[in-house]
Amino acid sequence: MKKYIMTMDEGTTSTRTILVDHDGQIVAQYNKEFEQIFPQPGWVEHNAKEIWEAQKETIKEVLKEAGASFDDIETIGITNQRETTVVWDKETGEPIYNAIVWQCRRTSDMVDELVAKLDGEGKSDLIPSKTGLKPDAYFSATKINWILDHVKGARERAKNGELLFGTIDTWIIWNLTGGKVHATDYTNASRTLLFNIHTLDWDEELLELFDIPSCMLPEVKKSSDDFGMSTYGIPITGVAGDQQSSLFGQCCFDKGDVKNTYGTGGFLMMNTGSEPIKSKSGLLTTMAAFTDEPEYALEGSVFVSGSAIQWLRDELKIIDSAPESEEAALSVEDSGGVYVVPAFTGLGAPHWNQDARGMILGITRGTSRNHIIRATLESLAYQTNDVLGAMKEDLGESVDDINVDGGASQNNYLVQFQSDISGIEVVRPKLTETTGIGAAYLAGLYSGFWKSKEELKSHMEIDKEFTPSMSDDEVKDLISGWNKAVKCVEEFAK
């Protein structure tokens, strides 16, 4: 058996390669940022070739850092920013347009038109019932369509089988295998609006609706599977979208297990086992990464989480670094009745209000910098609590404990406050690079590097556990204040 699993982690702003050893420890990692292209307000693109070049560089550098060679690598795992769309020429491997990034809103009108049409035909539930998603520009389908509409001759070429579509995982697999394998995994496929999460196949009716030829689509495999041999002579055996990979990396293998990531945005995800639970309260139903039988997840995304702390640092300039927010928050007894609702780009789950914008409420003459910092940190927890509330509604039972990761999970004040207002146990593992670890686990389980999920669980070391310590009355008061603040934001957006 070889020494390491190599994970390629394709993020939104950077690409990273990490080496993971038998004990599930990261022995080396290397990161390279790539360009964010903003051709118009609200539009976001990446150069897919630049991502591949950055990927190759990080592979070289990480091996150098570890003093390792390809001979030491057992297998490759891939995790990626989801939904981002690449279309390329099957013969030359050249993308015909930049990658359209998940954040890009250019196809919002297209989606609005489609929704109006479906509503008119009494088919409002067609897309949610098949895909588990809401029709939104966020997902891949309308992005593919935009490329086919705007690159000359593309639609014809696509119909003739000359063009291929892929999310970033598929693009990396294609390049890693020298153009031999065109494949994705269930978790990534389930974010396209084209994949039926019940039949586990591309859906003919949706392909027709979005006018996308099926010959463009990749083969869909389990997240732990044979994705072909890379030109480095190392097989690729694990692939999952970033949030699903982090759920797996947190060892949330069982039905009811929940993780929350406090990164730039916030992502709460629950493993719902073999059952796809249809949300009545604004959450998405999606595929979880699985090794045997299909597993599903419920997901709620918060648009602004850790980035609210960046805002305190970069725009308000009232802190010099994100970690400093903890000390500032603890320097006051409470938030002094201040609420910050960081709806900078609208409100995500469960409110879904595109027009909402941020507000600071409850300011008095005595309000200080520290109150605003504390209220901003608390807003990350309130937003997560709202998503937990939606999960409770969908499941008919409450969530008792969650695992956390992401940059802001290092903030003890924030995590304790989460535990307090949500009345839940919160576990923070020592290793919070769970996205990269998840893909390594998926790859290593397939190749036999690790024998079982139980073995993976034995790697899990807890850094800190947080238990609720606030009185019920106080929790009730605080949440009632937050609810009023969100109402104000929604009112202002009308």
Which parts of this chain interact with ligand ADP (CB under 6 A)? Answer: 263-264, 306-307, 309-310, 322-323, 325-326, 406-408, 410-411
| CB 403, min distance to ligand ADP, A | 14
Residue 82 phi, psi dihedral angles, 5° rounding: -90, 165
Q: Smaller CB distance to ligand ADP: residue 15 or 264?
A: 264
Neighbours of 467 (CB within 10 A): 12
| CB 242, min distance to ligand ADP, A | 8
Query: Which tokens hold the place of 68?
Result: 């390792």
Q: Smaller CB distance to ligand ADP: residue 68 or 302?
A: 302
Give the integer Cα–Cα distance in Å for 186 and 219.
Answer: 10
Distances (CA, A) of 330 to 412, 423, 457, 476: 10, 20, 34, 21
CB 428 within 8 A of CB 314: no
| CB 348, min distance to ligand ADP, A | 14
Neighbours of 204 (CB within 10 A): 12
Sign of CA dihedral 141, 278, 184, 288: positive
Query: Which tokens hold the place of 99?
Result: 């990658």
CB 438 within 8 A of CB 388: no
CB 213 within 8 A of CB 281: no
Q: Smaller CB distance to ligand ADP: residue 11 or 132?
A: 11
Neighbours of 14 (CB within 10 A): 14
Give the integer Cα–Cα distance in Å for 274 and 292.
Answer: 11
Q: Smaller CB distance to ligand ADP: residue 7 or 410?
A: 410
Distances (CA, A) of 144 to 136, 141, 158, 444: 13, 5, 11, 32
Q: Smaller CB distance to ligand ADP: residue 237 or 434?
A: 434
Give the integer Cα–Cα distance in Å for 389 and 422.
Answer: 9
Triad 413, 416, 417: Cα angle to 5°: 80
Q: Smaller CB distance to ligand ADP: residue 77 or 407?
A: 407
With residue 62 as reference, give the H or E element that holds it: helix 48-66
| CB 491, min distance to ligand ADP, A | 28
Length of the chain as a residue count: 494
Q: Smaller CB distance to ligand ADP: residue 224 or 416?
A: 416
Q: Closest Cα partner for 172 from 190, 155, 185, 159? A: 185
Q: Smaller CB distance to ligand ADP: residue 307 or 416?
A: 307
| CB 191, min distance to ligand ADP, A | 17
Write the single-letter amino acid at 300. Answer: G
| CB 315, min distance to ligand ADP, A | 12
Write the single-letter amino acid at 213. Answer: P
Q: Smaller CB distance to ligand ADP: residue 132 or 263?
A: 263
Q: Closest Cα partner for 78 from 97, 49, 101, 55? A: 55
Q: Smaller CB distance to ligand ADP: residue 271 or 307?
A: 307
| CB 322, min distance to ligand ADP, A | 4
Q: Smaller CB distance to ligand ADP: residue 97 or 138?
A: 138
Residue 107 Cα to chain centre, angstroms: 20
CB 83 within 8 A of CB 191: yes
Neighbours of 332 (CB within 10 A): 16
| CB 231, min distance to ligand ADP, A | 29
With residue 202 as reference, give the H or E element that holds it: strand 201-202
| CB 11, min distance to ligand ADP, A | 6
Give the integer Cα–Cα distance in Å for 123 and 114.
Answer: 11
| CB 417, min distance to ligand ADP, A | 12
Among all residues, whose Cβ is closest to ligand ADP? 407
| CB 197, min distance to ligand ADP, A | 25
| CB 14, min distance to ligand ADP, A | 8
Q: Smaller CB distance to ligand ADP: residue 235 or 406?
A: 406
Is the peptide bond prior to 350 cis by the omega test (within 30 degrees of 0)? yes
